[in-house]
Structures are given as C-alpha cells and as structure tokens.
Amino acid sequence: MNIHRLCLFLNNQQRAAVSAPRTNFLVLAGAGSGKTRVLVHRIAWLIEVEKCSPQSILAVTFTTKAAEEIRERLEELIGLLQNSMWIGTFHSLSHRFLCSHHIMANLPKDFQIIDTEDQMRLLRRLIQSMNLDLKQWTPRQGLWYINTNKEKGLRPNHIHRVSYPIEKTWLRIYRAYQDTCDRLGLVDFSELLLRVYELWRSHPAILDYYHRIFNTILVDEFQDTNNMQYDWMRSISGKSSHVMIVGDDDQSIYGWRGAKISNMQSFLKDFPLATVIRLERNYRSTSNILEAANILISNNNGRLGKKLWTNLACGELITTYCARDAFDEACFVADGIQVWVQNGGLLSECAVLYRNNAQSLEIEKVLSQRGIVYQVYGGMRFFQRQEIKDAIAYLRLIANRNDDLSFERIINTPTRGIGIRTLEVIRQLSREYDLPFWEASKKLLKDKALASRLASTSLQSFMELVDSLEEVTHTMPLYAQIERMLKDSGLWLMYLHKNGENGQRRIENLKELINTTRQYDSHHALYDKHEVPLRAFLAQSMLEAGGGSVHKSQDSVRLMTMHSSKGLEFAQVFIIGMEEGIFPGQISLNDAGGLEEERRLAYVGITRAMVKLTLTYAINRRLYGQECLHEPSRFIGEIPSKYIKNVHYSARATTNIPYHYKGTNTVSMVSNNDVRIIQRVQHEIFGLGTVMDTIGCGKKRRIQVNFDDYGVKWLLASYAKLKLS
C-alpha cells in the first residue's frame, strides 16, 4: 500500500513525526500514543518518499523483541528485506561493528560474548585465586563495580585517584578480570559498547566511514539510555546525520541501573536545532485514568511537558480500597478478578502490579486457593526463588534427615569448605550401602574416611548445625523457627552481603517468608493441634511451588512488578501495596530524585490500565517481622477525589460505603452516639481524623484513628474525649 495512503490513518501528531523534514528532532511519545507505529512509518517514509537507501538508516532499540517487531512491521508495510538495514539493540549493533573491525579493536576473530552468569563465575575464580574472602569480596559486587566503570568509559588504567583500601582491591580485581578477558578473547555486555566507542575514538577513519553510511539514526526508548549509550549515539552521529530520538521522560524508571533521564535534555542542548514533536493522544485508557495520570505526574519538576488525552469515554472511576491487612487486600483483588470473569472477561485481561517481588506471596496464595490460574511475569513464583528454596531446604532437612535433595542443596550453602569431591564421596557411599546422604555422612565421619581434615570438620559442623536447629527450635512458633534458622545457618548474612538491588530483593523475600509464617495460623492453617506446624507449612509451600509453569497462551492473571509492566497493557489493573514506605519506598522519601522516579513508576503502572484501575493499600501490614500501621501512599492523595471511588474493608461485605481520605466530605455513621468505623472525629490535640478500627469494649476499648495532620494513632476510648465531626 502507498505510504501516503497509510499516513491517512495516523493522527495529526503522528503524521507530523512521520513526515517531518530530515532534521534532528525528539518525539516525546506518551504512554499508549502509538510510538512503535510512528517509528515504523517514519522508516517507511524515509525509504519510500525521501528515497533513502535502507542501508543508510540505523535504528537502535532497547530489546531484541522491539527490533524484531519493527522488522516484521516493515516487511508487511513495504516488503523490506530482513537484512537490508541496520536494526538492533545497542549490544547487537556493537557486536556487528566489532566483528567487522575486530583487528582494529584488538580482538581475535572468534571473540566470545559472555553473559552475567559467565562473568560471575570468572570473577569468583579470580577472587579465590587472589586469596580474598568471597564473603567480603563478592563476585556480584565486583560485577557492579566493573560494569559501572565501563558505563562511564573507565578502564583500570583510567582510575587514578583511589583513596580507600577497599576500592584499591576492587580496582585490582577489575584489572585481573580485564586482563583475563583480553587474553581469552572474552567480551561482556558493557565491554561491547565501550570497545566500539574506543574503536571510533582511536580510529577516526572508521568512524568517518560510518558517518558517510548512516545519514539517518533513530533511537527508541531514549529515556532509558545510560552515559555510554548516549556517548555511543553521539559518536555515530556525523555532521550530516539526521537523528530522531523517541522517548518519554515521564516513563524513565531505570535510574537504579544507570539510566539518565537527563539524556533527553542533553540531546536538545547537544543538537541545538533539534525540535520536539509531542504524541499526546492515547489510544489505550479511558479519560478518567488519563486525567489521574496527568495530574499525578505534574507533581514532578523539570519535565519536558505533555498532557495525554483520548477520545474514549470517561469510563469507571478509579477504585481505591483500604484493606485491613495483606490477606484482606489479596481477597479483594481475587474478588475483583472473579467478578470480571463472571461478567465475560478473560483472566489474561487482568494484571496485579506491585513495587517489589516479595509482595506477590499473599496474592499467589489466595489465587491458588481459589483455583484462579496466574502467571508471574518477568520473575519466578515466590517459592521457586533461590533464597526461598535455600531456606525451605534447611527447614525440610530439619524436619526430615532423609531428604537427599535438600541435603545436597545446602551442604555448602553458605560456603563452608565442603567441595564437589566430598559430596561425590558421600554420593558414592550412599549408593554403595543404599543409605540416605545423612546416614552416609555419619558413616564417613565415624570411619574417618575423608582424606581432607577441613572437609571432615566442615561436614561435622554442618550436621551438628542441623541437629542443634531442630533441638532449639522445635518448641518455637513457626516464624521464630525460620528466624533462628536463617541466622544460625548463615543464609541471612550471605544474602545481606550481596550488594545492589538483587541482594536487597532477596533479603526482602526472606523477610516476607517470615511474615507469611506469622500469618499462617490465622489465614492459611492446614494443620490441627495434633499436627506439627513446620511439616504442614512445608507441605503447603511445596504444593504452591509445584503449580507448574503456565503456558503463555493459557488464560491466566498476570502478576508482575511495575518495572516489568512497562510497555504492556491490560483491561483491568490492580496496583497493590500503595502505602508510604512501600510505594514510595522508605529510601526514596528523603531523596527528591528518588521520589520523582517512584512517581514516574506510579505513572507507568496507572497507564497500563485500559478500562478499570484499582489501587489498594492496607492499614495493617506485617513487614520485616513487625506489625506496621501505614498511611496511604501520597500518590493516591495526589489524585483528585473526583476521579476516585473509595471503598473501606468494613463496608465491602455489606454496603458500598466509601472510605474518605483527608480533605473529602465525610459520611456520618453515628449509632447511639457511639464512635463507628470510617466516622470523622475530632481530638483536642490531634485535630480531625477518621476512625479506622476499634478493639475491646467498655473501659478497655481502644480506637484507631487516622488523623489528618498526625497520622494513625491508637487511643484509649475512655480518655480520648473524641467529638463527632
């Protein structure tokens, strides 16, 4: 079909971007505004109308999937041959450049790319060979140090001012790592970009060659670029090149991994004649959802500025649900999903979003109990995660010494000097005498059959650890058993020493494991007073973990972090855990930049919803082993009440009486002059507030009030002297 005719199906803003003069410009593409469509049509326009050679166009994407989608759409649109133009990710294109100039880049022809796991294994071996303690000098922290410096363009010989002994050691590890990679012809992902950047700087003739070839450069998801990717883009852009970048500063959510939102502003400074074209018409969400998202994100400073709009109807109000606790929150979400299906909707049209993976546990358990099929997107089920499986393996071995799978998993986790050779001896003896690994180990120790004294001592200590854990914990509550096991086994310390977000995430998951066992009796008890709680919990955890993978085509609810949801859309979206200290996170509360990124993340989550959006928070939530009373997230408060329908847990089962946030009109629920839940009251010191809960009766009655200016407080009713408002 003729490209001019195709452009008739674009809106005015899209058409302006597709048919723009060949200059430098930024397409500020809002959520759901059809940016991929614009990218594809722009390339087709350049080829069909501007008569550009396909080989003269360089299109850079952030994912292989995005690159493949652009290729497929171009094939359908203008019949473009698959290999006739340069479309790919920063890394795949860099690999292509290096293959063409491997000699100039000081690489062997058969150089190999190594992934993160390969890097970790190499670092582990190097750190051990340097006689350094792997607990202090972890491969993961080394990986972060090396990749961070490479993204800044820094080789070991570029780092001169090293003031601290710790950094001197990391620099020594970096140097040993790079020397080994160079000797073996290994290239990691960060090295791909840095090596190409260095190639262009040291060989201007090569760079000039590509400047002459590529007269048009397009870069997608520009808000996610880091320092090296920006420098890479600037280098490949010659004086006669025309650069089009596409992005949305309001969806910049990867600052924690090096993305620089400032790169979009830098582009406008470094390319002074560049213009901005805004794609603001949204084809995804209802008007109420978009208006809420617009007002929320307007609280951020330094934005390039845009306002999403749609021709779609206003749609339903956004539901906010105040839950009693995490279990009640999960039940409310499950209720909403079941109502959706009863009304003819699909499970796959529903998504549950959360800030951290640890928040998925309660939702997973409730969905499992109700037989609602779900799929954890971009992650594993809670009980399949490494740190949880390690903890469960200890618990299983404590409960059953004949559990060979658990024995084998944790015998050297954390590292305690029991190597592969020792484990193979245990396996061999087990086969020879038909004994469980535990009994085979006891026999080896009794017969003093291990050649290594260290291995013998370590094995003895491990078995004594398991025995002692059973002895000291068997009378403890379930959560206390797990807390003691994590401490004594060294698992907690091991994951605590893993730096970065990954280590923090694993610790949060372990805390959530403790949390769920605290609630096990009240919400999920599967055992009676005659059954051992630990064994019952382990049985349930294995059932939940063994649900099997869900095929992508199967109709299932999607569970994911808000980071994983970027680029996706769902008819019905639940965002759970919208509480101060969770979302936004505690660390971000005192950091303006971090808080703005959290707000952008909320904006991304909200704009995933097409038809129905629900935001939930819990008054009581057990976190990190403690019962916490939470304020609703400020992000809820930043959405005007006219876009919101509030629901409170006390009203859900009976009538749809709304729960009102600070600043809204209240509904009186007075009965015999007695204080009731969701009633507005006034205290002579704390001022106006809303009753959240009551406990006890008579003189011992306590009232929980969420005060407008002082937060949540528990008061003794006989002394509070509350007045009805």
Cα three-residue angle 104-110-115, rounded to 5 degrees? 100
Q: Is 31 one of the annotated binding-site residues?
A: yes
DSSP 359-427: GHHHHHHHHHHTT--EEETTS--GGGSHHHHHHHHHHHHHH-TT-HHHHHHHTTSS--S--HHHHHHHH
Beta pairing, strands 216-219 & 242-247? parallel
Q: Please state, in angstroms and rounded to a whole number, the distance separating the CA atoms of residues 166 and 137.
A: 9
Q: Is 29 annotated as a binding residue?
A: yes
End-to-end CA distance of the chain: 68
Beta-bridge partners for 374: 557
φ, ψ dihedrals at 591, nearest 5°: -130, 110
CB 571 within 8 A of CB 315: no
30 is in an annotated binding site: yes
Rounded distance, CA 647 to CA 324, Å? 12
Q: Is 567 annotated as a binding residue?
A: no
Query: Is the separation of the CB atoms in 233 and 241 below 8 Å?
Result: no
Radius of gyration of the chain (CA): 29
List the strands of the sheet with 570-575, edge to edge: 374-376, 557-561, 350-354, 570-575, 609-618, 318-323, 644-648
DSSP for 26-39, written as a single string? EEEE-TTS-HHHHH
Let me know if 49 is exposed, middle or buried by CB neighbors in 10 A (0-12, 13-18, 19+): middle
Q: Are 38 and 12 in contact (CB under 8 A)?
A: no
Say if CB 41 and CB 216 are below 8 A apart: no
536: annotated binding-site residue? no
Q: Is 593 annotated as a binding residue?
A: no
- Listed residue (27, 25, 75, 26) closest to 54, CA to CA: 75
176 assigned to a ligand binding site: no
- The torsion of the CA quartet 474, 478, 481, 482, rounded to 10 degrees, works out to 150
193 vs 435: CA distance, rounded Å: 53
The residues annotated with a catalytic role in the active site are 35-36, 220-221, 251, 608
Annotated ligand binding at 32? The verdict is yes
Q: Which residues are annotated as a binding site?
A: 29-36
Q: Which residues are annotated as a binding site for ATP?
A: 29-36
